[in-house]
Chains A and B, each alone.
Chain A
């Protein structure tokens, strides 16, 4: 039984994609925990990676002094645990993202405030 209950018990998941105006994407910049937790971003899955970088990431992270030092060609990208190489004109869906996927990026050489991962 998938829940301990006194009788039959079923409940539809609370956060399926149809309940939101746009699918949810979790976004995190590895080794930069000045932003304490990954962000929840509602976003259409046909958004291109170029727009993700220019709009979403800039809006979330430009307050960090490392942000303007990012060399975008060296950035490592992850969908969950899977590393991928983004194509600027390809969309999130093209790269395998779905509702509630995690997009992480890592910036080698930039490890946060005084290399503290802050």
Chain B
């Protein structure tokens, strides 16, 4: 009888070779240029695709096993939270507004990013790069779903969560997020990989994941916490892959360096212009605080980026052009953002409020150089108006930056007094920007940004029947937001009174005693 020979298992790198690199072949019936039409127009030169190193040597079968195991554990926790009425156990109903903001801004953004990555997965003419893009695309889709699932328990009990994808498409205050995702979607397969994996995930995503997850845990939200951690384990991988990819591009040809530097400058800044939402979430929206935005910036951005760019300097890459300006904003960002949202509180889809006295004291202790000098007087004034029954509403239409589409609410770097204005004339037309960086992004590709649909302008286009008076509020009401129920003042809102009636937050208060 023949002896059966056990098939020898391939070792890890042979398996990786077999399941990624060996899947690549050069086409013969059609030219490679026709099969990969997007490969060259961005001006990136690749001489040897086999140099692309996935630091994790991830193959699809390994990845499937890992992800399904993670999902099994996660959904057990989500189910338990829902069955035990976990929504009543959170610290304070104000906290749920942080969940709403994540659901409205970041779940749809992740969905949009998965589509862009799928474009790279189809169009990069390198095998390992395509696999990496495909895995990342699927993970972005998964993160979007996880956020929606984790938030869905709250949707049954709280207002303002019923149409997040629609608001992402059309609501004025989510325009910075949508325009970020659209800018990526209309970039080429190389630029969008640098934008997502490096510009957003490597450089800034820790500010969203780490502090928000600890804040969620601290506030008793055991639904968002496991979803966040489950995503974060993927993002950690994306970050390392992003850095490896940038090194690969820089090493392939010295002519790539200028292009990659321009993309790093651009996408650091575009990602940074999403940070006002994250900053105010941390400093204003989580009732039990774990740390300030400024502390997060120091820990999760300044220190690691300094280290990272020291590592990348030999490759010819410098820190992003907006680095100094971004660091100088750390004393101001969250306050300017919350001030704007509070003022436009009737034209968004979550609640706003003036922090309580202990919270004002906390803000002062965290921001000794800026809070008392510039920002506390606004909040005190709003509180006085509110006490007199005349809550402040800013009824104007905000002027927006042509590139990042944020309201023009940012002051000059390191200063609290002067709003930062930049203007460029292009083909007899004026365009306005919030910063040098947004102005430069425009100047590099004006034909891309002249077509931006700025929400404040769209509301006023001649085919619109809205009048400027409260047009912003009308625009949000047209998207299915119920004015006064889904937005406006938190105190006395349906969310507030319901939560009190259910005995919400009691466990946490007793635990503190």
B48 within 8 A of A: no
Task: Tell whether, in the assembled complex, residue B419 and residue A33 are in contact, meaning their CB atoms are under 8 Å apart.
Answer: yes
- Of the 9-residue stretches A18-26, A47-55, A85-93, which lies at the interface with chain B? A18-26
A39 within 8 A of B: yes
Q: Say which residue of A13, A14, A36, A63 sits within 8 Å of B340 (CB atoms).
A: A36
* Given contacts A11-B451, A13-B451, A117-B416, A33 and B42 within 8 Å (CB-CB): no
Indicate if the CB atoms of A42 and B460 lie closer than 8 Å.
yes
Q: Number of residues in A with C-beta < 8 Å to the partner?
A: 47
Tell yes or no: B216 within 8 A of A by CB.
Answer: no
A31 touches which of B191, B377, B417, B457 (Cβ 8 Å)? B417
Q: Is B468 an interface position by the 8 A CB rule?
A: yes
A109 to chain B, nearest CB (A): 15
Q: Indicate whether A4 sits within 8 Å of B445 (C-beta atoms), given known contacts A14-B450, A36-B407, A98-B430.
A: yes
Decide: B377 and A118 in contact? CB cutoff 8 A.
yes
| B483 contacts the other chain (CB 8 A) | no
Among candidates B43, B399, B446, residue contacting A40 with C-beta atoms closer than 8 Å: B399
CB-CB under 8 A from A114, the residues of chain B are 377
- CB-contacts of B396-442 with A (<8 A): 396-400, 407-409, 411, 416-419, 421, 423, 426-427, 429-432
Q: Which of A15, A39, A81 contacts B397 (CB 8 A)?
A: A39
Q: Mark B20-41, 1 if CB is under 8 A from A, else 0.
A: 0000000000000000011001
How many residues of B are counted as interface, with CB atoms below 8 angstroms from the partner's CB atoms? 59
**Counting CB contacts under 8 A, is A60 at the interface?**
yes
Docked-complex contact B453 and A14, CB < 8 angstroms: yes
Query: CB distance A40 to B457 under 8 Å?
Result: yes
> Knowing A3-B447, A36-B343, A37-B398 touch, does A102 contact B432 (C-beta < 8 A)?
yes
The contact sample of 30 A-B pairs, CB cut-off 8 A, is A3-B446, A4-B191, A4-B448, A12-B451, A13-B426, A14-B450, A14-B454, A20-B460, A21-B460, A26-B399, A28-B399, A33-B339, A33-B409, A34-B392, A34-B394, A36-B336, A36-B339, A36-B407, A36-B409, A37-B419, A39-B396, A40-B399, A40-B460, A42-B460, A63-B392, A80-B421, A116-B377, A118-B374, A118-B375, A118-B381
Q: Which residue numbers of A lie inside 8 Å of B, CB to CB?
A: 2-6, 9-16, 19-21, 24, 26, 28, 30-31, 33-42, 60, 63, 65, 80-81, 98-102, 112-114, 116-118
